Structure 1
Amino acid sequence: MSIPAKEKLYQCSVCRRKFRELSDMIQHTRVHTREKPFQCTVCQRDFGRKQHLTQHMKIHSGEKPYTCAVCNKDFRRKSHLLTHTRVHTEEKPYQCSECLKEFKQKSNLSVHMRVHTGERPYQCSVCLKAFIDKGSLVKHARIHTGEKPFQCSECSKCFSTQGNLKIHKRVHSREKPYQCSECLTAFSSTSTLKMHMRVHTGEKPYKCSMCGKYFRHSSGLLSHIQTHSQEKPFRCSECQKDFKRMSYLIKHMKVHTEVKPYQCSVCLKCFKRKPNLILHMHVHSKEKSYECLMCLQKFRQNSTLKKHMIVHSEKKPYQCSECLKYFKTRPTLIMHTKIHTGEKQYQCMVCQKKFTQQIHMTNHMSVHTAEKPYQCSVCQKGFKRKYTLVMHMILHTGVKPYQCSECLKNFRNKSELVLHIRVHTGEKPYKCSDCLKEFKQKSHLMLHMRSHTQENPYQCSVCLKNFRYRSNLTKHIRNHSAEKLKS
């Protein structure tokens, strides 16, 4: 026989809500009066109900009487334990009636419903921005106050939210619990994984309102928008050069200082930028796990391999506005434009020769030294430039990936193929400005120009006689060698 439900005899005079027990109604009226008669003796915090004070006191005592039977984690409240067990059972009993999304807690569903209703009851008193939950408002308020209450115990760096601190701690532990199901790359946070997945899905949710171009990340869109504006509000105080972004200016300022705060723990070499140090660290690992299927050249980073693959592609999407010449990459186009502007900002400290690119000056510096830092691991031959070593290594592999479409002859590199094709076409693109004689190669034109300038750059170290060509000097030196043998 069922027991009849007790009648609700007690009614709140403010909101007309009814209760079965008088004590329940008395507790409820404190919602309207905001009366909090129960005070914590430790921190003086007030509470409207005695059981809330009892639960609060466990914070000071450290008591956690409720233990999870699966992972042994302890909790102060039974309700917290019940909510936690859903982590193991993956139970989500609360479902949104609008989008059918499921939640583990009723409170989370209540907050989520505001997404559909548009309700944002929590407003910032400074900028009037509104939020759907109180926690988001509290986090936002720290933007104005600058408060960062969560500190890393390893490096003392502070954060505005506990979630950001938790993600940061994985830098020290090197923990990356979130793995991409497509390429198995691991990430330290779900947000980073979510952004990475767009590489596989091709999703680009951010659209430029000016040109209609789409981007995977909001940061990419923000950077792109600045290309439509000619404004460069950030100026270098040293050389007066202007920049579109503060980050570009900060990087540029290191050119004027000798500060190199990032040091390699292996060879103690210092760098001005952290990304440069990270790239440098691969030198010590010597591991090159990314191989080009076209020329078998290996790379330490997948990004470097992707850039290299453009060499084998015929696409040239970047065009010079001055001479209409096409290029495969934007950096190559930028470097090319310096030919038209005449800008040569890199100068050799020995002979004062100027260059448009720093790498050209670095390569040039080896002319003044006998140093050959790049050595072949097979025949031990030394080279002044890394690229020359890479080209040399193909000699040992025997690979000739570039084929002439006319005679099917194979070549080790693309430049050899380009020169060879001129045998079939008869093209001689390099013309002497004095006698109008044409040449297939630029180097041949430069050698020919010495007949007009009378330049003799090669000098014998024995008799100091000068020669126009290196081959003539080599033949001449043999005469001295023959004279020594006779004597």
Structure 2
Amino acid sequence: MKTKSERLEAKLKKKKQVKIKPGAELQKHRVNAREVILYSNATPIRCRGGVGYACCFCKDQFPDPGDLKRHTNESHDDSEKSTFMKGRDMISYVVKLDITALKCKICDENIDTVEAMIEHLNASHNHETFPDVKNHILPFKFEGDTLRCFMCLNVFNKFKVLQEHMNTHYRNFVCDVCDAGFVNRHILYCHTEIHRIGSFKCDHCQLVFETVRKRKFHIRSAHGDMNLHKCGYCNQRFRENWYKNEHLAEVHGVKSPSVKCQACDKAFDTRQGWLLHTKRVHLMQKQHKCSECEMEFFSKRELNDHAVKHTGSREHQCEICMKFYGRLKTLKDHMRRVHADRQFKCMKCELSFMQKSRLRIHLTSKHKEDLKSVSEENQQ
């Protein structure tokens, strides 16, 4: 009985050479993607949906990309895979491919990249692939709990952001204005909107915007449905993405992956938080210099707090004892040390007071509460 490798080799010998017309770039891309998917363990990813990584051949989604790989290999045969990307045009052509532990199915050789696999199938197994075309396949490796670009080792906590980042490595089309690179022409075209300056009037009101992107955001926020962030488990919608993330954690037990700092092992809920931490703590970037002395600071707020030392300004007042302080941090320290025993707590915010009269003044001045209703609430 023939082994799997021998059956593949026999199939290869019967396989007719693909006839490609000169200049038929799109068909070359389709052949490359099809050959890699058929003769390696690479798995195509449709997108990262509401529940997980979506299969390209059915509607199933999987939180773990390893489960998608097993599903694709077990549930979809070569006849389905051979028609992959059929009907897609060149302007928007892009393939998202999981190449974790990539190996050739014919000879079981481990291969590191998509480009190397395309060349390997051509040179070692006589498959007619086309290494000469610009690659429109975005490769991803899922190793460990951290979502990372395997090419530059940058860390991400969302697949969508990692996918956008991959354009920096596949600069097939380059913006003439800012030199940003993109994997296909459609993404470049969408990007060029940020450089179009003019007068763009809202279709629903009289407001005019200087860029198309600003107009689109205005229409979406002022005239459209702002509940754009949909839960993939129950289809509930949210105005902000962080509301959806809270809902996923509390209702469905799904937490967004954190970004771990490789220098000190701290973890952050967002990539932005990790970047700020890295710049502040490990790179020690200090871009804000004091004009009165030689001290430098990471943020504008830190510089403003320091400037009090030179100006003597005291703008932060304690609402309990009415003392003034130059820095908000100093005021908070004062509240913690001096007024820790506050028993009269405001139901509208987090402030507490030592005297009921101070609470009443606070409610009427800060929360516009009626004195009579405040008195009735206190008596109940």
Both proteins in one fold, TM over 0.5: no
Give the TM-score band, short-chain normalised: 0.3 to 0.5
Q: Which has the larger radius of gyration?
A: 1
TM-score by length of 2: 0.33
